[in-house]
A = this chain, B = another copy of it.
Amino acid sequence: MSRRQTPPFDPGRFEIANRLFFRLYQCSNLLHKNGTRSIGEFGATTQQWAVLGALARPLVHEKGMSVKELIEFLMLSRQNLTAVLDRLEARDWVERVKDPEDGRSRLIRLTVEGNRTWSAMRPAIETFYGKALMPLGEDEQVRLYQLLDRLRDGLADV
């Protein structure tokens, strides 16, 4: 229970919120820096890995995803995603194919090469996950992503 309408902000509440978002900022910087370094041998970035990961999911892998779906899933702007897709397409890791059911829409799919690269990256990603999550038990990892889920919902509604 107890979801307040407009929470009053005493100094304590502000401090907690401040720490929370500052940690988020720090984690975000570290994820980008060290995550990208850990897959440096492939010349990819964490953002590209997020796109490949989205497209490699079992239910998506064959039909692909539209740009609109990718934007909503990754929560970034269309202009930005277009640029990332351009780089991925230039490396022949993804392809844009016309949607047979909607001529306006194009489906983004992993190429064979993109699939191969994603598989090759997985061990490096697993190593990164393992090291980065060292201080957290499995139950805490679940708790953390559930809390991040709700934070995301809150952030999206601002």
Question: Which residue numbers of A lie inside 8 Å of B, CB to CB?
Answer: 2-3, 6-7, 9, 13-14, 16-31, 34-35, 37-38, 46-47, 50, 53, 74-76, 126, 128-138, 140-145, 147-158
Contact = CB atoms under 8 A, between A and B. Distances in A.
Contacts of A135: 3, 150-151, 153-154
Nearest to A128: B158
Contacts of A24: 24, 27-28, 31, 148
A30 B157 CA distance: 10
Given A21-B31, A29-B75, A126-B14, A131 B145 contact: no
Nearest to A143: B147
A152 B6 CA distance: 30
A141 B16 contact: yes
